[in-house]
Structure 1
Amino acid sequence: MPKLTFIVVLLALWFLPRTTLNAGDFTAEFEGPENSWQVRLRAQDASLAIHQRRRGAGREGGAEVIRVNSLKENTPVRIEHPLPPATVLDELEVAVWVKSDREGFSLALKVILPEFIDPETNAPCTLIIVGDQYRTPGQWQQLKCQTKERAVREQLQLKRALKQITRDPREMYVDQVILGGQLPPGPTDVALDDLSVRPFVAYEKTLKATDPESIQQAGKSTDNPRPAVAAARIPVQFRLHRLSVEDRPFFPRMITYQNERPEVLADAGANVVWVPDFEDSVVTGQLRRQGLWVTAAPPYAKGADGEALDSEDASLLPFGTNTSSVLFWMLGARMKLDGPPKLTSWTNQIRDADRGVRRPIAADVIENERLVSRHVDMLGVSRHVIHSICSLADYRDWMIQRREQAWPDSFCFTWIQTEPAPQVSDLARGVRTRPMLEPEQIRLQVYAALGAGCRGLGFWTTTPLDEDSPAARERLLALSQLNLELQLFEPWIASGGKPELVTFAIDTPRQQYSIGVRGIRPVTPPASPASRARNAKILAANQSRELKAAMIGSDRGALLLPMWLEENSQFVPGPLAARNMSIIVPGGGETAAAWEITTTGRLRNLNREPAAGGVKISLPRLDQTAAILLTSDQQLVAELNEQIASIQDRSAYLCVELAKLKMARVLEIDQTLQGMGVGRPEAPQLISDARQQLDKAESAMQAGNYFEAQQHASEALQFARLLQRNHWEYAIQSMPNVTSSPWAVSFQSLPEHWSLMRRIGQLGSLDSEENLLPSGEFEDIKTLIGEHWKHEQSMLETVQSIAELHHVARQGDFSLRLAASPLPGGPVPSVISSAPVTVVSPSVTVHKGQFVKITGWVKIPATIVGSIEGALIYDSLLGKSGAVRLKAAQDWRQFELIRPVPESQDMSVTIALQGLGEILLDDLRIVAVELEADYDVPSPAVPSLEPVKFSPLDLRRLNPLQRRK
């Protein structure tokens, strides 16, 4: 600040009436006759009508009163008050009482940077820190503004972007409080009272000179022995799309932080934790002490209005040592390219601020993979598939499509779903037996992601891992076991080549079980030759997509990961077990031996023999997934055996405890269903078989036979899955589509499903009920327009699309037709990234306590191509998680969606054509019916299989000396 201005301010402060400045406190009560606030206006926009001190106008006593006459809309006004220079502190707070007939005034502070000169004004640079906003017209409201470190740093980033500062300032002070706003036409009154600054620490100038030239030279000084910002030292490298830490391949095993104890996350096998605030040193410090790295969203440059700034106009201050726990930056999940802040500008700002370390940047996106992959190092492609119509084989293929849309050989990762989708959880509020993910569904997602070429995984959670619930306990055990496997596979999955998918074959699972139209069922006596032939035919039809092994090559051999991604496993997994699996490995290597990798025993040599096209390898037993190493490197085999020896006891313990927990839960639901009269006759035998296997597993564990303990625990889980699958197939046998009932998508919620179906059945036919969507007959275009049907089309360069009323109908004269095709003469796109055409119905109001039944008739003239999604029909209550998917050619067929209404709300139906082809829809009906307030779901009987008493810290009780260092 120039000398003259500074002196004027000091004199004004000296003569302020009834102003005190002592004992760390500054107050101004505005009781004297002289005004001390200054009103700044533009003469062409407004005029000052009244400005005076008035007795009795304040909260207690006098106040300073201002009236401004505005001449037009959004007239800016700024009311300022000088302060004695106060040192900027994190706890510094300025407060003032305001009363006005208009809302919208904001309190702000002017912060002076005495070391740096603004070249435009030739005066010290300033920051504006914005605080509270006035929102109570006609009433007194105290507005506050604080110089919190985060708010100050955001403004410093802007100044650095404008090249006005080159480093963090050593000195800052506040010298002015500002009340600003925009006024409508006409008069506006403002009264101000009781200004305070607490705590007040007087600013003492430390620079030798006060003239601008001396200050400018001080700002350029480089002899500061203790710089404010220093580069963090992180041993991370990102080369050739491979991540390494401390010169070793690194496969991120991420978890979202939900306030768990750090030791729980470490024991679960995570190595990176996504925290909400990387500056929270208490949290990040505790995580690093457990050997865990941190990822977090970095800041972005914002203007005074809080809006994101472009990288050409602004940049960030260099990241300092407070980011030393951050291994890479995570911009967000399910991001859009043009969302605020704009991704391309943000990445430029981050790299500029992180030059000293050059940490990788990660972002999980829902579109524009190719463009995004040119701006970030780690590209995330993720979706919730469990409890949806998307099969796990579709999920793997979808990730491959998304990866191939990215820049060649991009580093791709995904977030694994570990709990029901948010829409499912919202709909299940108050439900007694709620949907949950099975541990096997988490496993199959992980292996599908590895088969798709993901070089990193995150486990998406919104609830703590150490939460005390059956779902959480099983999830923790499943994640702990999976992370043990991922650690063994790290040299291949972190730095190996792109996986090659190889089809494999299995024998018919166990002779005492038969595969029928709807899945695997027990039969007595053993299956006949005709039944076995039918089984083989069904397996042959499915195995091309369901039975795949991902082969990942490296310079030390290849890792082969067979996985059984059975149809409908995203709802309820079947046994997924078979004897005698065989796979022909292309090439295979003449000297390479085949070794089965488990986490509970030494590598076992497998039979291999020459075959057409490669080498045939036989695996005696498959349970969901497996791992086979092809190598001639005996040193590698010895190293892996040593690693396995260090984890085998813990791995066996995890498997046995998981089997006990799940078996207790399955028995509880089974007994509930038996009490409802919908039990399965084979249940007692399956439960008895499972108990025998659990007993054997416990005995083997106590004897230290860890491999046998794991095998018997797996056998017990196979019986549990068979019982679950039989219950589920019985429940859905009369449903037109699996997602018709929201509670039929999970074994755990089958009691709710049966109760809902019985209540609906008691109502009889609903054909006579009022259709809340009468325009769903699609007979008149004017009616559709008048009722506000919405039509959206994606602007795809090579695709043309249309939504119209079509003369082919199931009944009446017209149906709704959505169609998409390549442009005439143009190329046929192999992948459609977004829905070419979407139609949304008008909203209808439904009420709490009702259930909604949505029906319609659909025709697909020819198979929809270009997208694994085909065409989707879904409601806004459950969203895409509960969609009906239509892809193969079919004649007119009815679909049905049944939805309970948890809260009164408006709902709509969406029809989305996701690929190339057409869909015809007719007779769309929405019927809402009242149900009784309560219905009977019997309380589960106490299972005779005693539940496990479980503590997360018990996971390492068998090998306490091997805790993470």
Structure 2
Amino acid sequence: MLTVEQSASVDTAVAGRIVPGVACGVAPRACRLRVLCSLLLCWSVCVSSSSAGLLLDEPAVSDGGAPVSEQGRLTQQLRQQSRATGQMIQQVSGVLPEPAATAPVTEYEGQLLTWRCQQHAPGIEVQQSQPEDQPEVAARFRFSAAAVTEPVLLTARIEPSRLHYDFQAALVADANTAGARLALQLLIPGQTDPRTGGPMVVYLPGDALEQAETTQTLRVTVTRKGMESLLRRTRAELNRADIRFQEPLIIGLAVLAESQPGELWMDLGVAEYGPVIVPQQAQLDLIPQPSQSERQAAAGVHVPLDVELGALLLKDQPVVLRLMPDHGESVDWLKRTGVNTVWQDDVQAAARSEELSGAGLAVLATPPHPEFAAGDFGQVVSGLSPLDQLYPHVSGWYLGTRIGQADLPHLLAWSREVRSADRVMQRPHAADLAGVESAASREIDLAGMGRHVVGREDGFGALRNLLVHRLNNSGQMAFPWTWVQAEPSHAQQQWRGEGLQAVVEPEQILQQVYAAISAGYRGIGFWKTRNLESTDAELREASLAIELACLEISLLEPFLARGRREGYLAVRTPEGRGAAGDRGAGSGVMLDLQGQSSGITVAGLDAPRGPDAAVIRGSGATLILATQL
């Protein structure tokens, strides 16, 4: 390790000669004037050179300037010469400045860094070790992944340094697949990452592995062009034109890779980096502790909820949506009930959102509303502020219940404005639709479809067939879910007035859940308008029914979360009678348990005339769910 102390010396090179500062301090007046003139001339040359575009070593990076060739060392020499010359002028003229603090510059060679896996998908198994027979290998990683390519981030802390255009780093690496890339981990003081809520950390990429199972030396260099490209990319990803790289700090090395289906192994060896210019103590205090990671920070801000083709992901795991409106129930009660998502009507209740997300529950909130021109939803009078900064604990947006044809233009315009204001986090949109599934499913990610049937002439079998019909009308473009009645409808409660109110029996709640699952829906919302955490017998009975339904869903979740309904099987009763009835037969290739063809279709909205079984095919398994609706 080589250490060099940079300090402003009084002995300064002027016009190719060394001018001793002490001698000038006691020289005759004429000599002092001649030296002063020479120094002024040299200083003016330095200033003119810097104005000509040679000074690349700026602490702030912007993307507005034209590309300039790399002359970092020449720039540093000119700048040091200019500063030292200015000090010489002050000393010759009799004005003595205060001594400047020395800035240590260090080169680190042959370092074995401490690496850790900072980011990986939950489905990836990570093993880290250090081979005893290979002391030159700092860390060996093995990643076991499924049939999906996922990003992997490995990081190692180094001695922090102020960013400058002479900084370089190198790492010896080997892997069984090409593509892993070395990068510098940069901390941007004064900037908050809206994705994590913590200090902004970006990665300046360098070389990538070009060949598999071949030891290579990867290098990364700080250049003006690279920093400008990184700034533009960061602004585009976060949709924030006000981001500036003011005095960035180099805090670590990183390896960016992608796990492949099967097994990926990677050896990380000796590293070199420098020159390191030690930051001031105030800057060092901004560096987060090594135990913190972006994923931990993100989890502390909100519970990630995402929709992909055929599945809903909660914390990157496929789940069945179990939703409940929030009426002030305790977090412990909600978790004991088994719901995983809570709809919060008041988006301004930040403390409640933080409490729910801190308990691991996803939060759907009703977003703020923009102001549209009268009668024209295409003209926005007052838009929305960036939602990622205002509501960081929200996992998704709920835009309304029972949205019909008359409210469709407003729903689509509102959703577009919310997406425009939420470009950083891009949280999913949910809405309960009433007959507009086909048009709205292009904009809404979680499409609620269904009807309240408790207390009506329609049975649960007719509800199942209605759900199938509406799912087919939607084009199956959005994630399907439905509300389940946990209490009588508003119209029924109004009709009874002050009289004895009807109740929804636990069996009715469970039958609605079975109908939705049999129809191929992968989300259940338990509709209620009051707090169910009560000692009242009726409310207690409803809450226990919800808890039982969530327990049954969790048991079937491995089949239902990514499963797809492929059809129905007729179930024979003990008397030997078929259950296909007059619904029509023949559109399926399903067989009953005796091997005879018994595929049936749901052709209408009438209730089935007997029991049947939904066939739900998941990844490598098939679930046959028999129901009596």
Structure number with greater CO (CA < 8 Å, separation at least 6) is 2
The two structures have a TM-score, normalised by structure 2, of 0.46
The two structures have a TM-score, normalised by structure 1, of 0.30
